[in-house]
Structure 1
Amino acid sequence: MSELLFETQGGIATITLNRPDSGNAFTTEMLSLWEAALRECIHDDAIRCVVLTGAGRIFCSGGDVKRMAANAAGGQQPWDRAKYLTDHVHRIPLTLMELDKPYIVAVNGAATGAGMDMALMGDLRFAAESARFAETYIKVGFVAGDGGAWLLPRLVGMPKALEMLWLGDFVGATEAERIGLINKAVPDDQLMAHTYSVAERLASGPTVGIRLMKRMVQQGQTSGFREALSFAASCVGVVSATEDHREATAAFAEKRKPVFRGR
Protein backbone atom coordinates (compact mmCIF):
# COMPACT_ATOMS: atom_id res chain seq x y z
CA MET A 1 0.00 0.00 0.00
CA SER A 2 1.29 3.47 -0.87
CA GLU A 3 2.67 5.53 1.99
CA LEU A 4 0.73 8.52 0.66
CA LEU A 5 -2.71 8.61 -0.98
CA PHE A 6 -3.68 11.22 -3.55
CA GLU A 7 -7.09 11.68 -5.12
CA THR A 8 -9.07 14.47 -6.76
CA GLN A 9 -12.79 15.08 -6.94
CA GLY A 10 -14.84 18.14 -7.79
CA GLY A 11 -11.84 20.44 -7.99
CA ILE A 12 -10.53 19.32 -4.59
CA ALA A 13 -7.32 17.29 -4.20
CA THR A 14 -6.87 15.22 -1.04
CA ILE A 15 -3.44 14.16 0.20
CA THR A 16 -3.49 11.52 2.95
CA LEU A 17 -0.39 10.53 4.91
CA ASN A 18 -0.72 6.76 4.99
CA ARG A 19 1.53 5.08 7.54
CA PRO A 20 -1.02 4.74 10.36
CA ASP A 21 0.86 1.92 12.10
CA SER A 22 3.88 4.23 12.43
CA GLY A 23 2.02 7.40 13.38
CA ASN A 24 2.39 8.62 9.78
CA ALA A 25 6.06 9.33 10.46
CA PHE A 26 8.01 10.54 7.44
CA THR A 27 9.96 8.27 5.16
CA THR A 28 11.94 9.29 2.10
CA GLU A 29 9.32 7.61 -0.10
CA MET A 30 6.45 9.45 1.59
CA LEU A 31 8.17 12.81 1.20
CA SER A 32 8.88 12.13 -2.47
CA LEU A 33 5.25 11.19 -3.14
CA TRP A 34 4.08 14.23 -1.15
CA GLU A 35 6.18 16.61 -3.21
CA ALA A 36 4.98 15.00 -6.45
CA ALA A 37 1.34 15.37 -5.35
CA LEU A 38 1.88 19.04 -4.52
CA ARG A 39 3.51 19.58 -7.91
CA GLU A 40 0.45 18.15 -9.60
CA CYS A 41 -1.76 20.45 -7.53
CA ILE A 42 0.31 23.43 -8.66
CA HIS A 43 0.15 22.61 -12.37
CA ASP A 44 -3.34 21.11 -12.76
CA ASP A 45 -5.80 23.98 -13.25
CA ALA A 46 -8.71 21.63 -12.55
CA ILE A 47 -7.51 21.43 -8.92
CA ARG A 48 -8.75 24.52 -7.10
CA CYS A 49 -8.26 23.52 -3.44
CA VAL A 50 -6.01 21.04 -1.60
CA VAL A 51 -6.74 19.12 1.62
CA LEU A 52 -4.10 17.36 3.73
CA THR A 53 -4.93 14.82 6.45
CA GLY A 54 -3.59 11.65 8.05
CA ALA A 55 -4.80 8.06 8.03
CA GLY A 56 -5.71 6.42 11.34
CA ARG A 57 -5.73 8.05 14.78
CA ILE A 58 -2.58 10.19 14.42
CA PHE A 59 -2.09 13.08 12.01
CA CYS A 60 1.70 12.93 11.87
CA SER A 61 4.45 12.16 14.37
CA GLY A 62 7.11 13.84 12.23
CA GLY A 63 10.51 12.23 11.85
CA ASP A 64 11.10 8.59 12.66
CA VAL A 65 12.77 8.64 16.11
CA LYS A 66 14.01 5.05 15.72
CA ARG A 67 15.79 6.06 12.54
CA MET A 68 17.27 9.08 14.34
CA ALA A 69 18.61 6.83 17.08
CA ALA A 70 20.12 4.46 14.53
CA ASN A 71 21.72 7.38 12.69
CA ALA A 72 23.18 8.78 15.90
CA ALA A 73 24.53 5.40 16.97
CA GLY A 74 25.94 4.77 13.52
CA GLY A 75 27.93 7.97 13.48
CA GLN A 76 25.95 9.88 10.88
CA GLN A 77 27.84 13.04 10.01
CA PRO A 78 26.31 16.52 10.52
CA TRP A 79 26.50 17.20 6.78
CA ASP A 80 24.50 14.05 6.04
CA ARG A 81 21.75 15.04 8.49
CA ALA A 82 21.55 18.58 7.10
CA LYS A 83 21.50 17.23 3.54
CA TYR A 84 18.63 14.86 4.34
CA LEU A 85 16.57 17.81 5.57
CA THR A 86 17.30 20.03 2.59
CA ASP A 87 16.99 17.25 -0.01
CA HIS A 88 13.83 15.65 1.35
CA VAL A 89 11.96 17.17 4.33
CA HIS A 90 12.38 20.79 3.26
CA ARG A 91 11.07 20.01 -0.21
CA ILE A 92 7.54 20.12 1.22
CA PRO A 93 7.54 23.70 2.61
CA LEU A 94 9.56 24.96 -0.36
CA THR A 95 7.07 23.43 -2.80
CA LEU A 96 4.18 24.86 -0.79
CA MET A 97 5.66 28.32 -1.33
CA GLU A 98 4.79 27.84 -5.01
CA LEU A 99 1.18 26.76 -4.33
CA ASP A 100 -1.13 29.75 -4.54
CA LYS A 101 -4.28 27.64 -4.22
CA PRO A 102 -5.98 27.14 -0.82
CA TYR A 103 -4.24 24.47 1.27
CA ILE A 104 -6.34 23.17 4.16
CA VAL A 105 -4.96 20.87 6.85
CA ALA A 106 -7.42 18.58 8.67
CA VAL A 107 -5.63 17.46 11.83
CA ASN A 108 -7.31 14.17 12.73
CA GLY A 109 -5.10 13.30 15.71
CA ALA A 110 -1.80 14.07 17.41
CA ALA A 111 0.55 16.36 15.47
CA THR A 112 4.03 16.30 16.98
CA GLY A 113 7.48 17.59 16.10
CA ALA A 114 7.89 18.01 12.37
CA GLY A 115 4.35 16.67 12.01
CA MET A 116 3.10 19.73 13.86
CA ASP A 117 5.28 21.95 11.72
CA MET A 118 3.75 20.43 8.59
CA ALA A 119 0.30 21.23 9.99
CA LEU A 120 1.37 24.84 10.59
CA MET A 121 2.06 25.19 6.86
CA GLY A 122 -1.65 25.06 6.03
CA ASP A 123 -3.47 28.21 4.98
CA LEU A 124 -6.35 27.01 7.14
CA ARG A 125 -6.19 24.40 9.92
CA PHE A 126 -9.14 22.49 11.35
CA ALA A 127 -8.66 19.90 14.08
CA ALA A 128 -10.64 17.12 15.67
CA GLU A 129 -11.46 17.88 19.29
CA SER A 130 -9.31 14.91 20.33
CA ALA A 131 -6.28 16.21 18.40
CA ARG A 132 -3.22 17.42 20.27
CA PHE A 133 -0.21 19.50 19.26
CA ALA A 134 3.34 19.46 20.61
CA GLU A 135 6.75 20.64 19.47
CA THR A 136 8.42 17.53 20.86
CA TYR A 137 11.91 18.15 19.47
CA ILE A 138 13.27 19.07 22.90
CA LYS A 139 12.15 15.70 24.27
CA VAL A 140 14.77 13.98 22.11
CA GLY A 141 17.42 16.68 22.52
CA PHE A 142 16.71 18.15 19.11
CA VAL A 143 15.70 21.51 17.61
CA ALA A 144 12.86 22.40 15.26
CA GLY A 145 14.26 21.49 11.86
CA ASP A 146 11.20 21.90 9.66
CA GLY A 147 10.27 25.56 10.01
CA GLY A 148 8.50 25.47 13.37
CA ALA A 149 10.71 28.17 14.91
CA TRP A 150 9.71 30.49 12.05
CA LEU A 151 6.04 29.55 11.69
CA LEU A 152 4.92 29.19 15.30
CA PRO A 153 5.74 32.72 16.59
CA ARG A 154 3.80 34.20 13.67
CA LEU A 155 0.69 32.33 14.79
CA VAL A 156 0.78 32.42 18.59
CA GLY A 157 3.38 35.08 19.45
CA MET A 158 6.95 34.64 20.64
CA PRO A 159 6.36 33.88 24.36
CA LYS A 160 3.88 31.07 23.65
CA ALA A 161 6.01 29.75 20.82
CA LEU A 162 9.09 29.57 23.05
CA GLU A 163 7.05 27.86 25.76
CA MET A 164 5.94 25.17 23.33
CA LEU A 165 9.41 24.77 21.79
CA TRP A 166 11.28 24.74 25.11
CA LEU A 167 8.92 22.51 27.10
CA GLY A 168 7.48 20.26 24.42
CA ASP A 169 4.14 20.01 26.24
CA PHE A 170 0.90 19.08 24.48
CA VAL A 171 -1.78 21.64 23.63
CA GLY A 172 -5.31 20.33 23.10
CA ALA A 173 -7.47 21.33 20.15
CA THR A 174 -9.70 23.69 22.15
CA GLU A 175 -6.68 25.56 23.53
CA ALA A 176 -5.09 25.51 20.08
CA GLU A 177 -8.13 27.32 18.72
CA ARG A 178 -8.04 29.85 21.56
CA ILE A 179 -4.42 30.82 20.95
CA GLY A 180 -4.77 30.97 17.17
CA LEU A 181 -2.85 27.81 16.37
CA ILE A 182 -5.84 26.44 14.42
CA ASN A 183 -8.92 28.01 12.88
CA LYS A 184 -11.45 25.71 14.52
CA ALA A 185 -11.77 22.59 16.67
CA VAL A 186 -14.70 20.38 15.64
CA PRO A 187 -16.11 17.07 16.90
CA ASP A 188 -14.03 14.15 15.66
CA ASP A 189 -16.80 12.68 13.52
CA GLN A 190 -17.41 16.04 11.83
CA LEU A 191 -13.81 16.97 10.98
CA MET A 192 -13.72 15.89 7.35
CA ALA A 193 -17.28 17.05 6.63
CA HIS A 194 -16.42 20.50 7.98
CA THR A 195 -13.12 20.57 6.09
CA TYR A 196 -14.73 19.62 2.78
CA SER A 197 -17.57 22.09 3.25
CA VAL A 198 -14.97 24.88 3.37
CA ALA A 199 -12.94 23.31 0.56
CA GLU A 200 -16.03 23.11 -1.64
CA ARG A 201 -16.80 26.79 -1.07
CA LEU A 202 -13.26 27.70 -2.10
CA ALA A 203 -13.20 25.32 -5.07
CA SER A 204 -16.46 26.77 -6.40
CA GLY A 205 -15.41 30.38 -5.81
CA PRO A 206 -13.71 32.91 -8.12
CA THR A 207 -10.41 31.09 -8.53
CA VAL A 208 -8.25 33.93 -9.82
CA GLY A 209 -9.34 36.22 -7.00
CA ILE A 210 -8.74 33.53 -4.39
CA ARG A 211 -5.27 32.76 -5.71
CA LEU A 212 -4.31 36.41 -5.99
CA MET A 213 -5.57 37.06 -2.47
CA LYS A 214 -3.25 34.36 -1.15
CA ARG A 215 -0.33 35.91 -3.03
CA MET A 216 -1.19 39.34 -1.61
CA VAL A 217 -1.25 38.03 1.95
CA GLN A 218 2.02 36.15 1.52
CA GLN A 219 3.76 39.10 -0.13
CA GLY A 220 2.55 41.36 2.65
CA GLN A 221 4.49 39.33 5.23
CA THR A 222 7.80 40.56 3.86
CA SER A 223 7.00 43.87 2.14
CA GLY A 224 6.29 47.39 3.26
CA PHE A 225 2.83 48.94 3.07
CA ARG A 226 3.66 51.00 -0.03
CA GLU A 227 4.82 47.89 -1.87
CA ALA A 228 1.74 46.00 -0.72
CA LEU A 229 -0.53 48.72 -2.09
CA SER A 230 1.31 48.67 -5.42
CA PHE A 231 0.92 44.90 -5.68
CA ALA A 232 -2.75 45.18 -4.73
CA ALA A 233 -3.32 47.65 -7.57
CA SER A 234 -1.76 45.21 -10.02
CA CYS A 235 -3.92 42.36 -8.72
CA VAL A 236 -7.06 44.47 -9.04
CA GLY A 237 -6.15 45.16 -12.66
CA VAL A 238 -5.84 41.44 -13.34
CA VAL A 239 -8.93 40.25 -11.50
CA SER A 240 -11.16 42.97 -12.96
CA ALA A 241 -10.65 41.42 -16.40
CA THR A 242 -11.75 37.91 -15.39
CA GLU A 243 -14.97 36.20 -16.44
CA ASP A 244 -15.72 35.47 -12.78
CA HIS A 245 -15.66 39.19 -11.91
CA ARG A 246 -18.05 40.00 -14.75
CA GLU A 247 -20.31 37.11 -13.68
CA ALA A 248 -20.29 38.25 -10.04
CA THR A 249 -21.23 41.84 -10.86
CA ALA A 250 -23.96 40.68 -13.26
CA ALA A 251 -25.35 38.28 -10.67
CA PHE A 252 -25.40 41.05 -8.07
CA ALA A 253 -27.38 43.31 -10.38
CA GLU A 254 -29.77 40.48 -11.28
CA LYS A 255 -30.18 39.38 -7.63
CA ARG A 256 -29.05 35.81 -8.27
CA LYS A 257 -26.25 33.54 -7.12
CA PRO A 258 -23.14 33.75 -9.31
CA VAL A 259 -21.76 30.70 -11.10
CA PHE A 260 -17.99 30.90 -11.16
CA ARG A 261 -15.90 29.08 -13.77
CA GLY A 262 -12.45 29.75 -12.37
CA ARG A 263 -11.27 32.09 -15.07
Structure 2
Amino acid sequence: MASPILTSIENHVQIITLNRPEKKNAFNREMITAWVQALQDAQHNDQVHVIVVTGAGSAFCSGGDVDGMRPIQTPLDNKNKLWEHIHRVPLTLKAIDKPVIAAINGPAVGAGLDMALMCDMRTMVSDSKVSEGYVKVGLVPGDGGAFFLPQIIGEAKALELLWTGKFITSEEALQLGLVNHVYPQEQFMEQTMKLAAQIAEGPQIAIRMTKRAVRYARTMELEPALDLMSSHYAIIKETEDHKEGVAAFKEKRQPVFKGN
Protein backbone atom coordinates (compact mmCIF):
# COMPACT_ATOMS: atom_id res chain seq x y z
CA MET A 1 0.00 0.00 0.00
CA ALA A 2 1.35 3.42 -0.96
CA SER A 3 2.16 5.87 1.80
CA PRO A 4 -0.63 8.46 2.27
CA ILE A 5 2.02 11.17 2.65
CA LEU A 6 5.20 11.68 0.61
CA THR A 7 8.05 13.91 1.76
CA SER A 8 11.19 15.29 0.16
CA ILE A 9 13.63 18.13 0.81
CA GLU A 10 14.96 20.44 -1.90
CA ASN A 11 17.06 23.55 -1.19
CA HIS A 12 15.94 23.66 2.46
CA VAL A 13 12.28 23.33 1.40
CA GLN A 14 10.32 20.38 2.77
CA ILE A 15 7.65 19.22 0.30
CA ILE A 16 4.77 17.32 1.90
CA THR A 17 2.54 15.67 -0.70
CA LEU A 18 -0.94 14.34 0.08
CA ASN A 19 -0.77 11.00 -1.69
CA ARG A 20 -4.19 9.49 -2.32
CA PRO A 21 -4.69 10.62 -5.92
CA GLU A 22 -7.27 7.90 -6.62
CA LYS A 23 -9.44 9.59 -3.94
CA LYS A 24 -8.49 13.12 -5.00
CA ASN A 25 -6.39 13.16 -1.82
CA ALA A 26 -9.39 12.88 0.48
CA PHE A 27 -7.96 12.38 3.94
CA ASN A 28 -8.58 9.47 6.29
CA ARG A 29 -7.20 8.67 9.73
CA GLU A 30 -3.96 7.25 8.34
CA MET A 31 -3.30 10.33 6.22
CA ILE A 32 -3.97 12.70 9.13
CA THR A 33 -1.57 10.77 11.37
CA ALA A 34 1.16 10.75 8.72
CA TRP A 35 0.53 14.41 7.86
CA VAL A 36 0.89 15.54 11.46
CA GLN A 37 4.07 13.50 11.85
CA ALA A 38 5.55 15.00 8.67
CA LEU A 39 4.78 18.52 9.87
CA GLN A 40 6.34 17.86 13.27
CA ASP A 41 9.43 16.33 11.66
CA ALA A 42 9.82 19.39 9.42
CA GLN A 43 9.51 21.76 12.37
CA HIS A 44 12.29 19.97 14.26
CA ASN A 45 14.61 19.52 11.27
CA ASP A 46 17.15 22.36 11.15
CA GLN A 47 17.74 21.67 7.45
CA VAL A 48 14.13 22.64 6.70
CA HIS A 49 13.51 26.37 6.40
CA VAL A 50 10.17 26.36 4.55
CA ILE A 51 7.37 23.79 4.24
CA VAL A 52 5.28 23.33 1.08
CA VAL A 53 2.10 21.22 1.18
CA THR A 54 0.61 20.00 -2.11
CA GLY A 55 -1.42 17.14 -3.56
CA ALA A 56 -0.56 14.21 -5.80
CA GLY A 57 -2.33 13.93 -9.15
CA SER A 58 -4.91 16.44 -10.33
CA ALA A 59 -6.38 17.56 -6.98
CA PHE A 60 -5.11 19.27 -3.86
CA CYS A 61 -7.60 17.74 -1.42
CA SER A 62 -11.29 16.87 -1.71
CA GLY A 63 -11.87 16.90 2.04
CA GLY A 64 -12.64 13.93 4.25
CA ASP A 65 -12.95 10.44 2.77
CA VAL A 66 -16.66 9.74 3.22
CA ASP A 67 -16.27 6.10 2.17
CA GLY A 68 -13.64 5.51 4.82
CA MET A 69 -15.47 7.13 7.70
CA ARG A 70 -16.39 4.88 10.59
CA PRO A 71 -19.99 4.86 11.86
CA ILE A 72 -20.55 7.51 14.52
CA GLN A 73 -22.84 6.62 17.42
CA THR A 74 -23.43 9.90 19.28
CA PRO A 75 -22.84 13.66 18.94
CA LEU A 76 -20.03 13.28 21.48
CA ASP A 77 -18.39 10.70 19.22
CA ASN A 78 -18.60 13.23 16.38
CA LYS A 79 -16.95 15.92 18.47
CA ASN A 80 -14.24 13.61 19.78
CA LYS A 81 -13.45 12.38 16.28
CA LEU A 82 -12.79 15.94 15.16
CA TRP A 83 -10.78 16.84 18.26
CA GLU A 84 -8.66 13.69 18.33
CA HIS A 85 -7.92 13.50 14.61
CA ILE A 86 -8.85 16.36 12.25
CA HIS A 87 -8.03 19.12 14.72
CA ARG A 88 -4.50 17.81 15.10
CA VAL A 89 -3.63 19.40 11.76
CA PRO A 90 -4.50 23.05 12.60
CA LEU A 91 -3.11 22.68 16.11
CA THR A 92 0.15 21.28 14.75
CA LEU A 93 0.37 24.03 12.12
CA LYS A 94 -0.24 26.65 14.81
CA ALA A 95 2.82 25.37 16.68
CA ILE A 96 5.08 25.66 13.62
CA ASP A 97 6.98 28.94 13.35
CA LYS A 98 8.52 28.15 9.97
CA PRO A 99 6.79 29.47 6.82
CA VAL A 100 4.20 27.03 5.44
CA ILE A 101 2.93 27.39 1.86
CA ALA A 102 -0.07 25.51 0.48
CA ALA A 103 0.47 24.75 -3.21
CA ILE A 104 -3.11 24.26 -4.42
CA ASN A 105 -2.41 22.19 -7.53
CA GLY A 106 -6.05 21.36 -8.24
CA PRO A 107 -9.54 21.40 -6.70
CA ALA A 108 -9.74 21.95 -2.94
CA VAL A 109 -13.17 21.38 -1.41
CA GLY A 110 -14.55 21.68 2.12
CA ALA A 111 -11.97 20.52 4.63
CA GLY A 112 -9.53 20.27 1.73
CA LEU A 113 -9.73 24.04 1.23
CA ASP A 114 -9.58 24.60 4.97
CA MET A 115 -6.32 22.66 5.16
CA ALA A 116 -4.86 25.21 2.74
CA LEU A 117 -6.29 28.11 4.75
CA MET A 118 -4.37 26.87 7.80
CA CYS A 119 -1.09 27.56 6.01
CA ASP A 120 0.65 30.95 5.97
CA MET A 121 0.50 31.49 2.21
CA ARG A 122 -1.21 29.89 -0.75
CA THR A 123 -0.36 29.50 -4.42
CA MET A 124 -2.94 28.14 -6.86
CA VAL A 125 -2.87 26.62 -10.32
CA SER A 126 -4.60 28.82 -12.88
CA ASP A 127 -7.22 26.40 -14.20
CA SER A 128 -8.68 25.20 -10.91
CA LYS A 129 -11.50 26.01 -8.49
CA VAL A 130 -12.08 25.84 -4.74
CA SER A 131 -15.17 25.70 -2.54
CA GLU A 132 -16.10 25.57 1.12
CA GLY A 133 -18.92 23.24 0.16
CA TYR A 134 -20.13 22.24 3.63
CA VAL A 135 -23.51 23.93 3.27
CA LYS A 136 -24.27 21.76 0.23
CA VAL A 137 -24.51 18.75 2.53
CA GLY A 138 -26.02 20.61 5.49
CA LEU A 139 -22.83 20.92 7.54
CA VAL A 140 -20.66 23.59 9.13
CA PRO A 141 -16.85 23.65 8.86
CA GLY A 142 -15.83 21.41 11.75
CA ASP A 143 -12.11 21.71 11.21
CA GLY A 144 -11.54 25.45 11.59
CA GLY A 145 -12.59 26.89 8.24
CA ALA A 146 -14.98 29.37 9.89
CA PHE A 147 -12.02 30.56 11.98
CA PHE A 148 -9.41 30.89 9.24
CA LEU A 149 -11.42 32.13 6.24
CA PRO A 150 -12.67 35.43 7.78
CA GLN A 151 -9.14 36.24 8.93
CA ILE A 152 -7.91 35.94 5.36
CA ILE A 153 -10.66 37.57 3.26
CA GLY A 154 -12.87 39.34 5.81
CA GLU A 155 -16.11 38.33 7.48
CA ALA A 156 -18.62 39.40 4.81
CA LYS A 157 -16.87 37.64 1.92
CA ALA A 158 -16.19 34.59 4.09
CA LEU A 159 -19.85 34.29 5.02
CA GLU A 160 -20.85 34.49 1.36
CA LEU A 161 -18.57 31.57 0.48
CA LEU A 162 -19.65 29.58 3.54
CA TRP A 163 -23.37 30.22 3.05
CA THR A 164 -23.47 29.52 -0.69
CA GLY A 165 -20.81 26.82 -0.96
CA LYS A 166 -20.10 28.12 -4.47
CA PHE A 167 -16.92 27.34 -6.36
CA ILE A 168 -14.60 30.22 -7.14
CA THR A 169 -11.89 30.29 -9.80
CA SER A 170 -8.22 30.89 -9.19
CA GLU A 171 -8.56 34.47 -10.44
CA GLU A 172 -11.46 35.11 -8.08
CA ALA A 173 -9.44 33.59 -5.24
CA LEU A 174 -6.56 35.92 -6.09
CA GLN A 175 -8.82 38.99 -6.16
CA LEU A 176 -10.27 38.05 -2.77
CA GLY A 177 -6.81 37.65 -1.27
CA LEU A 178 -7.50 33.97 -0.64
CA VAL A 179 -4.30 33.05 -2.50
CA ASN A 180 -1.06 34.98 -2.92
CA HIS A 181 -0.17 33.90 -6.44
CA VAL A 182 -1.73 32.09 -9.41
CA TYR A 183 0.57 30.21 -11.78
CA PRO A 184 -0.16 28.29 -15.01
CA GLN A 185 -0.16 24.49 -14.79
CA GLU A 186 3.13 24.02 -16.65
CA GLN A 187 4.96 26.40 -14.28
CA PHE A 188 3.02 25.83 -11.08
CA MET A 189 5.40 23.86 -8.88
CA GLU A 190 8.47 25.52 -10.39
CA GLN A 191 7.17 28.99 -9.49
CA THR A 192 5.93 27.86 -6.09
CA MET A 193 9.30 26.33 -5.28
CA LYS A 194 11.02 29.49 -6.51
CA LEU A 195 8.97 31.49 -4.00
CA ALA A 196 9.71 28.98 -1.24
CA ALA A 197 13.43 28.98 -2.04
CA GLN A 198 13.54 32.77 -1.90
CA ILE A 199 12.13 32.67 1.63
CA ALA A 200 14.37 29.73 2.57
CA GLU A 201 17.45 31.77 1.64
CA GLY A 202 16.50 34.53 4.07
CA PRO A 203 17.62 35.07 7.69
CA GLN A 204 15.79 32.23 9.39
CA ILE A 205 15.71 33.54 12.96
CA ALA A 206 14.23 36.83 11.76
CA ILE A 207 11.73 35.06 9.52
CA ARG A 208 10.51 32.76 12.28
CA MET A 209 10.27 35.56 14.84
CA THR A 210 8.37 37.68 12.33
CA LYS A 211 5.83 34.89 11.94
CA ARG A 212 5.45 34.65 15.71
CA ALA A 213 4.97 38.40 16.00
CA VAL A 214 2.30 38.48 13.29
CA ARG A 215 0.43 35.52 14.81
CA TYR A 216 0.56 36.85 18.39
CA ALA A 217 -0.49 40.34 17.32
CA ARG A 218 -3.91 39.03 16.26
CA THR A 219 -4.99 38.66 19.88
CA MET A 220 -2.89 41.36 21.58
CA GLU A 221 -3.43 45.00 22.43
CA LEU A 222 -0.99 47.48 20.89
CA GLU A 223 1.16 48.03 23.98
CA PRO A 224 2.00 44.36 24.66
CA ALA A 225 2.41 43.76 20.92
CA LEU A 226 4.98 46.54 20.71
CA ASP A 227 6.69 45.21 23.83
CA LEU A 228 6.95 41.74 22.27
CA MET A 229 8.22 43.09 18.96
CA SER A 230 10.85 45.23 20.66
CA SER A 231 12.09 42.09 22.45
CA HIS A 232 12.28 40.24 19.13
CA TYR A 233 14.09 43.21 17.60
CA ALA A 234 16.65 43.32 20.42
CA ILE A 235 17.40 39.60 20.02
CA ILE A 236 17.66 39.76 16.23
CA LYS A 237 20.08 42.72 16.42
CA GLU A 238 22.65 40.39 18.00
CA THR A 239 22.49 37.65 15.36
CA GLU A 240 25.22 36.97 12.84
CA ASP A 241 22.64 37.15 10.05
CA HIS A 242 21.83 40.75 10.98
CA LYS A 243 25.51 41.65 10.91
CA GLU A 244 25.83 39.94 7.52
CA GLY A 245 22.81 41.82 6.20
CA VAL A 246 24.24 45.18 7.26
CA ALA A 247 27.67 44.32 5.82
CA ALA A 248 26.15 43.19 2.52
CA PHE A 249 24.12 46.41 2.30
CA LYS A 250 27.22 48.54 2.85
CA GLU A 251 29.26 46.49 0.38
CA LYS A 252 26.44 46.51 -2.20
CA ARG A 253 26.29 42.73 -2.53
CA GLN A 254 23.78 39.97 -1.87
CA PRO A 255 23.83 38.74 1.74
CA VAL A 256 24.63 35.13 2.57
CA PHE A 257 22.56 34.18 5.59
CA LYS A 258 23.47 31.14 7.68
CA GLY A 259 20.62 31.02 10.16
CA ASN A 260 22.53 32.19 13.22
Give the structure 2 partner of residue 96 of structure 1: 93
Give the structure 2 partner of residue 46 of structure 1: 47
Match of 2:117 among 111, 115, 120: 120
* Structure 1 vs Structure 2 CA RMSD: 1.1
- Structure 1 residue runs without a partner (length 5+): none
Give the structure 2 partner of residue 200 of structure 1: 197
In the alignment, does 2:173 pair up with 1:173?
Answer: no
Letter in 2 for 1:172: T
Instruction: Tell me the TM-score normalized by structure 1.
Output: 0.96
In the alignment, does 2:11 pair up with 1:10?
Answer: yes
Q: What's the offset of the Cα at 1:140?
A: 1.4
Q: What's the offset of the Cα at 1:88?
A: 0.9
Distance 1:106 1:62 in 2: 16
Percent identical = 46
8 A contact 2:110–2:131 mirrored in 1: yes
Cα deviation per residue 1:59-89 (whole Å; 9 max; x = unaligned)? 0011123345x73xxx522111211111111
Q: What's the offset of the Cα at 1:9?
A: 2.3
Distance 1:156 1:253 in 2: 39
Give the structure 2 partner of residue 221 of structure 1: 218
Q: Helix, strand or coil: the match of 1:60?
A: coil
Q: Helix, strand or coil: the match of 1:160?
A: helix
Distance 1:131 1:87 in 2: 31
Distance 1:203 1:10 in 2: 8
Q: Helix, strand or coil: the match of 1:59?
A: coil
Q: Helix, strand or coil: the match of 1:125?
A: strand
Match of 1:164 among 161, 179, 194: 161
Give the structure 1 partner of residue 84 of structure 2: 87
Cα deviation per residue 1:41-75 (whole Å; 9 max; x = unaligned)? 1111111000000001110011123345x73xxx5
In the alignment, does 2:22 pair up with 1:21?
Answer: yes
Distance 2:22 2:161 in 1: 26
Give the structure 1 partner of residue 187 of structure 2: 190
Cα deviation per residue 1:101-130 (whole Å; 9 max; x = unaligned)? 110110001100000000111111000011
Letter in 1 for 2:222: F
Letter in 2 for 1:5: L
8 A contact 2:58–2:105 mirrored in 1: yes
Instruction: Tell me the TM-score normalized by structure 2.
Output: 0.97
Q: Which runs of 4+ in 1 moved over 4 A?
A: none
Distance 1:133 1:161 in 2: 13
